[in-house]
């Protein structure tokens, strides 16, 4: 894999370089002060086996969307500030991941790994699709969702229905009763759903579901 990154801050570029050099399977690393310089260097290069990390301080309005349209096979991870709306906007425009500048030491390696494997990295601070309200649990905000970009394409209609019910907050028993299935059958479907989405638990499945076009399902009625 060839990594290209841009940031206007020399000290931050040095820190980025040190982090990126720790990754395995990296054949080359190239740094640029501006995103425009990075694009010039990328022109004429092969589109395969490249990954771009770009800081928001060098991005202009529309840059992400144009990059995704012009180079759909080159994944882009954006590094920027703490504004959740800007994070959602970047992901909504097609960036494959977003990492806050303050979190590059703890999250960039994970983001690169997820994106390199065909997934989308959603930062823990939002853990949702663009434009939606924060997903909350009793423990606080939903953690980051790591799921495949083609998630959902292999789900059967029944699995999509079950995933929609999971997102709405229904238990396995609720789902079984509503769909006239056994709880065991529901569990088998959920295992298949997790595998298809590339997630490990119910919470990550909910995050992934926020990015998919699923049927609306009423939330469970409170116990009387």
Q: What is the pLDDT of residue 182?
A: 93
User: Which letter, b or e, does each residue of 68-89 get, where b requires 16 or more Cβ atoms within 10 Å of its Cβ?
Assistant: beebeebbbbbbbeeeeeebbb
Instruction: List, by residue range, all CATH 1.10.10.10 domains of the chain.
Output: 151-209
Q: 8: which residues sit within 8 A by CB, 6+ positions away?
A: 33, 34, 55, 57, 58
Residue 154 to residue 133: CA distance in whole angstroms? 27
Residue 134 to residue 136: CA distance in whole angstroms? 6
Residue with the two structure tokens 């012009």 = 70
Q: 51: which residues sit within 8 A by CB, 6+ positions away?
A: 1, 2, 3, 4, 74, 75, 77, 112, 115, 116
Report domain 151-209's class: mainly alpha
Q: What is the pLDDT of residue 136?
A: 35
Q: What is the pLDDT of residues 86-103, one digit of tens each?
A: 887 888 788 888 888 888
Residue 168 to residue 206: CA distance in whole angstroms? 9
Instruction: List, by residue range, all CATH 3.40.50.2300 domains of the chain.
Output: 2-144
Query: pLDDT below 50 — which residues of the chain?
Result: 127-146, 223-224
Q: What is the pLDDT of residue 71?
A: 85
Structure tokens at 177: 């009763």
- Classify domain 2-144 by CATH number: 3.40.50.2300
Structure tokens at 150: 């083609």
Residue 209 to residue 199: CA distance in whole angstroms? 11
- With both helix axes pointing from N to C terminus, report the angle between 172-179 and 183-197 in degrees, rounded to the nearest 10: 110
The pTM for the full model equals 0.59
Burial of 99 (0-12, 13-18, 19+ CB in 10 A): buried
Is the CB of residue 51 less than 8 Å from the CB of residue 77? yes
Q: What is the pLDDT of residue 133?
A: 45
């Amino acid at each position: 894999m060839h990594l290209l990154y841009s940031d206007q801050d020399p000290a931050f570029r040095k820190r980025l370089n040190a982090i990126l050099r720790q990754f395995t399977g990296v054949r080359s690393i190239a740094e640029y002060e501006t995103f425009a310089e990075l694009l010039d260097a990328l022109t004429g290069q092969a589109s395969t086996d490249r990954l771009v990390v770009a800081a928001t301080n060098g991005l202009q309005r529309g840059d992400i969307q144009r990059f995704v349209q012009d180079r759909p096979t080159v994944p882009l991870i954006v590094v920027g500030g703490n504004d959740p709306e800007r994070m959602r906007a970047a992901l909504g425009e097609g960036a494959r991941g977003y990492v806050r500048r303050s979190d590059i030491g703890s999250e960039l390696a994970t983001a690169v790994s997820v994106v390199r494997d065909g997934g989308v990295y959603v930062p823990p601070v939002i853990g949702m699709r663009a434009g939606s309200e924060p997903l909350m649990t009793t423990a606080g905000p939903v953690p980051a969702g790591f799921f495949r970009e083609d998630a959902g394409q292999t789900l059967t209609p029944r699995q999509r229905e079950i995933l929609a019910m999971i997102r709405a907050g229904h238990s396995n028993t609720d789902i079984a009763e509503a769909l006239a299935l056994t709880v065991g059958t529901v569990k088998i479907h959920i295992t298949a759903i997790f595998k298809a989405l590339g997630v490990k638990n119910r919470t990550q499945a909910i995050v992934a579901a926020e990015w998919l076009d699923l049927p609306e399902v009423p939330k469970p009625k409170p116990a009387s």
